[in-house]
Amino acid sequence: MQIVITGGAGFLGARLARTLLAQGSLALDGGPAQAISRITLVDRAAAPADLAADARVHSAVGDLNAQLADGEAGFWAQADAVFHLAAAVSGECEADFDLGMRSNFAATHALLEKLRALGTRPVLVFASSLAVFGDSPAQPLPGVIEDHTLPTPQTSYGIQKFIGEQLVADYTRKGFVRGRSVRLMTVSVRPGRPNGAASGFFSGMIREPLAGLRAPCPVPDDTPVALASPARTIEGIVRAAEASESQWGPRTAMNLPSLATTVGEMAAALGRVAGPQALALLDRTPDPAILRIVQSWPGRFNAARAKALGLMADADFDSVIRDYVRENPDAVQQKLQA
């Protein structure tokens, strides 16, 4: 089996690749498990060293739109499954409309057209976002988002992701791909450096204090968060590829399970794990631009479809923080609580 991951050198793309390589095989679309012979990571950056050292990994470095415009069929024609994770993130899309449209709309459309032209009908998993749901006075969100709740995005990023969902649904309806769109929750705790996502501080407010650094926490404590750990997020992405058509159900996107929490509860968990010295490193200076985006997102989901596929939310945020510490010991400088 051959697999392509767009955004494959990024955090989630690399973690997905490591997960698949560790499994060694994948059962697509309800079929039998097949050995993974090759994973191609498509990204502007080269693959991380550990992945590059694996003989099963190929790194295709360059702009995704340019690679898709190339007339060569190449690795795209051999792909049994494509995981489309490449995207410009929320804050970037608000600051640069053209970047968001090029990276999130045009690239997704170009990918679907490439696969349509090849006629290979791969399984395509598209990473959408909870940002397709947005609160507004004219269309207030319900207290709990259900699988059938109408998306009402309030940001360019959310609109671009919703367009992507609809494109995947129609290309699937026409039989060009076997598409599944999954709406990712806010992923925390992400390792590494901050990115341009409006939600980036949800990781930074934990990651930086654990490293002994100050971190912004620019929204009020009562701000709701629908959160998922990296491990639960990858589980959802993989399960989407594995599910049969009958298990998957409607062509509409699936909300992945989430832990319903608040910024204040996240900070309290940081204090329980790393003590008051970590909490003291949080900078509570408000950022109206971040608040405007984040407060429009829902904080509570009932992910019945995902649960029917065996997917579950994280039990609590304390465990999420401890998992981050276990996986990234070199990034932690604080003495942890017993």
**Catalytic residue chosen out of the listed positions 157, 162, 201, 301:** 157
Cα four-point dihedral sign 288, 293, 296, 299: negative
Contact by Cβ (8 Å): 51, 62: no
**Cis preceding linkage at 263, omega within 30:** no
**157 is an active site residue:** yes
Tokens representing 191 are 């390792």
Neighbouring C-beta atoms of residue 282, cutoff 10 Å: 21
- CB neighbour list of residue 212: distance below 8 Å, 6 or more residues apart: 281, 333, 334
- CB neighbour list of residue 71: distance below 8 Å, 6 or more residues apart: none
Neighbouring C-beta atoms of residue 22, cutoff 10 Å: 7
Cα four-point dihedral sign 105, 153, 170, 36: positive
Q: Cα dist. 17→1, 99, 113, 198, 228 in Å? A: 13, 26, 24, 25, 19
Contact by Cβ (8 Å): 328, 191: yes
Q: How many residues belong to the chain?
A: 338
Coil, helix or strand at residue 277 = helix
251 vs 145: CA distance, rounded Å: 18
94 vs 206: CA distance, rounded Å: 25
Contact by Cβ (8 Å): 299, 226: yes
Contact by Cβ (8 Å): 122, 178: yes
- CB neighbour list of residue 194: distance below 8 Å, 6 or more residues apart: 200, 201, 203, 204
Torsion of CA 44, 48, 49, 50, to 10 degrees: -140
Residues identified as active-site? 157
